[in-house]
A and B are shown apart, each in its own frame.
Chain A
Amino acid sequence: MPELPLTIADAAEWLRSGKITSVALTEAQLARAHATQDTLAAFILIMDEAALAGARQADANFAAGVDKGPLQGIPIGVKDIIATKDAPTTANSRVLDPAWGQRDDATVVKKLRAAGAVILGKLGLHEYALGWPDPDTGFRIPKNPWDLSRTPGGSSSGTGAAVGGGVILGGLGTCTGGSVRGPASYCGISGIKQTFGRVSKEGCVPLGYSLDHIGPMARSARDCAIMLQVMAGYDPLDLCSVDTPVPDMLGLMNGSLAGVRIGVPRDYFFTVPNLDDEVKTTVEAALAAMAAAGATLVEVAIPHADAARHAQRITMISEAYAYHELDLKSKPELYGKYTRQSFQLGAFFTAADYVQAQRLRPLIRQECAEAFGTRPGDGVDVLIVPTMASVAPTFAGYDPDAMMRSYGFTPIWNLTGLPAISIPCGFSEGGLPIGMQVVGRPFDEPTVFKVADAYQQITNWHLTIPPIAQELAKEAQPA
């Protein structure tokens, strides 16, 4: 049995019952962070002093009867593409102007601090949230906690590695085409990209302006909901922020799937040629388990899902190229080679290509609306599809061009802006995690969380931790 809590929800209880202090929890997680920098390599910067100061403040608040909510005293990590006032921000790149990285907290970081969260450090990522790690850039390359020879996924690689490896209880990722859900799937954790506009992306280095999200990653859907509750809300500093009420993210969680209608778009999402049989059968088994628990499976269709993949990629790379064009011309050698190669493609899209991609978005949105059903009660509550087409690949033999050719199941939800969480739903024969996405209607994260949490009540995939985390649990004792 691990001697530290596995989830944020558990840690919140421990902190309030006196079973642990925030300082003891933070010290133990800091010890894990340092102990795994040569293996998991999850952090770009570990913020010992700032974290302990935050933990002491949280304990002081508890002692004074001040309780800011379930994140008070909880150590979390921040992807190092999101600004923090007490640490530089690198975007895992030698290109980013250091002046940018020396700014105030991003809006989400302000909100998390205000809720009492303890920032443990800045987490590694793929450079500028795209591409593939290049060892020549000098940055650590996060590893998959289930197999260090494999990628934890990207671009939120450090967050996936750290949460999956039991180093932190939760962290921030960013997602433009799957960068929260991909690492969540590969690392056996939960991670949500909420509705576009629900969370401010102010203070985050952009990749694709109209696709970017900052999303929480943690072991359980419940933990993601706890984090999102704090992160969500209108922010006039973000042009994409939507001024709409924030619902109770945990309000619909009742552990039940009875009466839930799940749409399953089998065409494309369960039929593309690069979908591993193990992934397909595992997600099908999860659907069967949910049906056995009372859910109804409904066949639905999104006819142009494949075109959505193209539209997302052209939008993302075009918007990224606009941001990076000057640096690509003036200091290309400072980029990692895979990042540079990814951005170079942006020169090959025309203005008409970009606008055409934006003309496709309403079409895909309409197809999604029809898949969900146009009237409340006359359709499905969520869609469920695989997250990734395979388990985590090895670092060796990486072929960026093959990756670009492959079909994906995550980008369409960035293109449409729909909320989508990835949760673990099983393991491959080789012992690697497999994830599935629960996708909701716009701004209906509570239903997404209800379904994901109910599935996690009848399974324990999300609580299955890798050997490296089991070793850490034996070694790092709280004070």
Chain B
Amino acid sequence: MSDTTQTPDAAAQVDMVLARTGLPVTPEERERLIRVYPMVAEWTGGLRLPETRYAEPALIYPATFDR
């Protein structure tokens, strides 16, 4: 999903994800997912900025018994 340097076949990608996750969808929903797949790939591709190559994620786990 993250690799936008290639142009994967959207239907194959969608079917692979649906098979892996076991997510039930109607035929109409599958068609929609194939239609929006390039947009989703654009979103994820748009996150891979050079400025974040060595950035720390905004994820903090408080190692405390208080909360």
Task: State the A residues within 8 Å of B (CB).
Answer: 210, 236, 239, 304, 306-307, 310-311, 313-314, 328-329, 332, 340-341, 344-345, 347-350, 352-353, 355-363, 365, 401, 404-405
Contacts and interface: CB of A to CB of B under 8 A. Distances in A.
B40 A360 contact: no
Interface residues of B, number: 34
Given A236-B67, A353-B47, A348 B1 contact: yes
Contacts of A236: 66-67
B21 interface: yes
B18 to A, nearest CB: 7
A310 B58 contact: no
Interface centre among A239, A306, A341, A347 (most CB of B within 10 A): A347
Which 10 residue pairs spanning A and B have beta carbons closest together? A358-B57, A361-B58, A359-B55, A310-B43, A356-B47, A359-B52, A347-B21, A310-B46, A358-B58, A359-B57
Interface string B7-19: 0000000100110
Interface string B54-67: 01111100100011
Contact of B39 (A306, A328, A361, A401): A401
A348 B40 contact: yes
Contacts of B24: 328-329, 332
Contacts of A306: 46
Contacts of B2: 350, 352-353, 356
Contacts of A355: 57, 59
Interface string B30-62: 001101110110011011110110011111001
Given A306-B46, A353-B47, A359-B56, A347 B17 contact: yes
Contact of A348 (B17, B47, B49): B17
B25 A344 contact: yes
A363 B67 contact: no
B1 A353 contact: yes
B47 A307 contact: yes
A210 B17 CA distance: 25
Given A239-B67, A356-B44, 20 more contacts: A304-B49, A304-B51, A307-B46, A314-B44, A329-B24, A341-B29, A349-B40, A349-B44, A350-B2, A353-B2, A353-B47, A356-B57, A360-B49, A361-B57, A362-B56, A362-B58, A363-B52, A365-B58, A401-B39, A404-B36
B30 to A, nearest CB: 10
A353 B29 contact: no
17 contacts: A307-B49, A310-B47, A311-B47, A314-B44, A332-B24, A347-B18, A349-B1, A349-B40, A359-B47, A359-B52, A359-B55, A360-B47, A360-B52, A361-B57, A362-B55, A401-B35, A404-B39
Contact of B44 (A328, A353, A405): A353
A350 B1 contact: yes
B59 A341 contact: no
Nearest to A303: B51
A306 B45 CA distance: 12
Nearest to B23: A347
A81 to B, nearest CB: 23
A83 B24 CA distance: 30
Given A329-B23, A405-B39, A363 B44 contact: no
Given A359-B56, A401-B36, A404-B36, A329 B47 contact: no
Nearest to B43: A310
Contacts of A347: 17-18, 21, 23
Contacts of A358: 57-59
B22 interface: yes
